[in-house]
Each structure stands twice: as structure tokens, then as C-alpha cells.
Amino acid sequence: MMSVATRKRANKVQSPSKDKEDRVHSSTSGSPDKNVVPFHLDLWLTLTLENWILDFGRPIAMLWVPLEWSPLNMPSVGDYFHMAYNVITPFCLLKLLERCPRKLPLGSSVIYLAVIFFVMGASLHLVGDSVNHRLIHSGYQNHLSVRDNPIMQNLQPKSLVDSFELLYYYDEYLGHLMWYIPFFLCLVLYFGGCFVPDKGRNGMPVSAWILTVVSAVYNWYLVTEGQIFPLFLTSYALMLLIVQYNRRYGEVPDVNGYFMLYSFGLTLVLVVTWVGYLWNDPALRVRYPSLIYVPEPWAYYSLYVAGR
């Protein structure tokens, strides 16, 4: 019979290899060929297309679809876009996290809670954004605050303006926070689990490079229109820190991780360029007086394009 001391020594010898195995998901263990994680083209393409069509295209559909098709007292085409987005996006996030090559450190409970908060925040935004875009048909101007809008000046009783400000708060602040914080949390969690040994990394395919540019342009819209530049910058900084941490173990991001890094990096360049272009704009400076000045594209459209 093996003595207690012998068993302890055996456990000490086995523990380093066990720790290393715990860093890799069982589905990627084995031969070097099995350690190569493929680019998840189906999920990234689905996310990119539905972001462009259902999120970016939503306000365009609200503005250009004839009112006869969706009266002001009924949901618009853009609202149905938003409903579809609220279902497809969390589904894609869950499927993406399922394919993570490494076990996620926070467990499934945190992921489920994040997705639940995501759906709740996106649903709050659905209602507020729907009313906001219906108000545009009545003369509401996005580059002005709620109280400064001309259509609010003659509203009676005056307390109704407070109700519209509450609606704006649910739309632009609470809804965005509950929507985007869980969204970026899921992305960062996935990124933290998509590291492989340096020799197990596959090169970026052409489809990944194309989606990098397309996703970065959408992310620029998301960051600026959603007013979430601090959250985006924090997420990107965390991703860079995760890269440095994993290099200590001889691991690098897989092809999906590099896709996220490159798209976030290009997004940062686009946002900085956008802010620099509008840095001295007097009207937008009044609209965005805070320290972090990131104008919204639809405010720019309302101010300089719609008036023409």
C-alpha cells in the first residue's frame, strides 16, 4: 500500500501538468491539429449582418418607410428590427461562448445573468427609441436636448416634459448601460478564453480580414451613437491586459481573438478620427458639454443633413 507521504509527492509532481490542462478546454486537447481553433465565420458573419441590418438599419427603416405602413400609434418596421435583434444577438453570444476553447473563469451563472440583463436593457431601449423616432416625424430634433426641443416648448401641462425626459433617461442612459455592459462583458469573457499555445494558432483567413473592417465600422457607430466610449475603451484595455497575462504561459489569442483585437483597434482609430473632425463644432459642443466629447452620428445628421 502506498504511504501518505508517497501519495503527496506524486500529487505534487502531477499538479503542474494538471494546472496547464485546466487552462485548455477538453475539446481542444490532443494532437496539434486539434488545438487549432477555426474562425467562427458563421457566428461572426451572423452578428455582423444583424448588427448592420437590425441595429444600424433600424432608424433608417423608421424614417424612410411610409407612415401608412406603420402609423404613429403602432410599432414601426424599425421596432420589429429591434425585437429581432433582442433575440438573435443574445443567442449568438451564447453560442459563441459555448465554443470558447478554454473553460470560462466565472462560470455559466455569470454568463446567464449577463445575457438576461442584456435582453432587459435592450428591451428598455426598444421602447424609448421607438417613441423617440416617432417624435422625429413630429419635428423632434436629435441635436437638441429634450427640454430645448421646439415641440416641447408648447406642451401642456409642462410636467409632460418631465415624462419625456424620463423616457429619454430610460432610452439613452439606463437602457444603454444595461444593454452594453453585459454585451461587452460577454465579449471580454469570450476573449479571455480563446487563447491557445503559440504553435496552435491559425492564420487569419480572408473572410476574417473583411469582417474586421466591416465590424469596426459598425462598432464605430455603436460606440458613438450609444455614447459608450469609456466602456469600449475599458473593454479594449482589459483585452490588451489579458494578452500580456497569457504571454507568461506561452499562449496567444486564436484566430477569433485576433479578429476581436484588430476590429477593436480599428474602431478606436475611427472614433478618434470622428472626434477630431468635429472637435471645434460649436453646435455639437453645446449638445455634448461633458469632458468626454463624442458626438452621435444621428445628431450630426439631424443638424447638418436633415435640414437640407
What does pLDDT average to over the chain? 85
Cα 303 to Cα 141: distance, rounded to the nearest angstrom:
8
Structure-model confidence comparison of residues 275 and 73, the more confident one: 275
Average pLDDT over residues 74-103: 92
Quick one: pLDDT at residue 178?
94
Quick one: pLDDT at residue 294?
95
Say if residue 199's pLDDT is above 90: no
Say if residue 17's pLDDT is above 90: no
pLDDT digits (tens, 9 = 90+) for 230-254: 999 999 999 999 999 999 989 999 9
pLDDT digits (tens, 9 = 90+) for 268-298: 999 999 999 999 999 999 888 888 999 999 8
Quick one: pLDDT at residue 215?
98
pLDDT digits (tens, 9 = 90+) for 155-197: 888 888 999 999 999 988 899 999 999 999 999 999 999 998 8
Give the predicted TM-score (pTM) of the model.
0.82
The answer to whether the beta carbons of residues 136 and 223 sit under 8 Å apart is: no
Short-list 149, 92, 158, CA closest to 119:
92
Say if residue 16's pLDDT is above 50: no
Average pLDDT over residues 127-151: 86
pLDDT digits (tens, 9 = 90+) for 28-45: 344 445 557 789 999 999
Q: φ and ψ at 251, to 5 degrees?
A: -115, 150
Average pLDDT over residues 200-204: 74
Quick one: pLDDT at residue 200?
58
The answer to whether the beta carbons of residues 86 and 122 sit under 8 Å apart is: yes
The answer to whether the beta carbons of residues 160 and 168 sit under 8 Å apart is: no
Quick one: pLDDT at residue 26?
39
Average pLDDT over residues 5-33: 44
The answer to whether the beta carbons of residues 121 and 175 sit under 8 Å apart is: yes
The answer to whether the beta carbons of residues 165 and 135 sit under 8 Å apart is: no
48-57, 136-145, 291-300: lowest mean pLDDT where? 136-145
Please give the span between the terminal C-alpha atoms of the chain, in angstroms, as a whole number.
90
